[in-house]
Amino acid sequence: MGRNGNNNHSRGNCYNGQNEEVIVNPSQTVLNTTTNQRVVRNIHPTEIVNVNRTIIRNENYYPVTERTVEETVVENYDCGNNVNNSSNCRPFWNR
């Protein structure tokens, strides 16, 4: 609005016919700021893992036993009729 209460939307200078000058100044800007506050909750979950460990120890043993075997081998010879001469003996196989 101008000085006389008249709305004048033109820019620059104009005359209203009574030798009166109306000067329209550039608009002033009034900035009304509304600030809203917001809460952001950052959740950082933590997982705890409890491990119950059982260790099985396998022990392997290899005991060694030793034994002695008594072996008897029977060989039969035919030595003829002379008891004092063993040079004539020949192997005798049982049938």
SS3 assignment for the chain: CCCCCCCCCCCEEEECCCCCEEEECCCCCCCCCCCCCCCCCCCCCCCCCCCCCCCCCCCCCCCCCCCCCCCCCCCEEECCCCCCCCCCCEEECCC
pTM: 0.28
pLDDT at 1 (0 to 100) = 45
> Domain map of the chain by residue range?
1-27
What is residue 49's predicted lDDT score, i.e. its pLDDT?
A: 97
pLDDT by 10-residue block (mean), the chain, 95 residues = 48 63 91 90 94 96 94 88 86 72
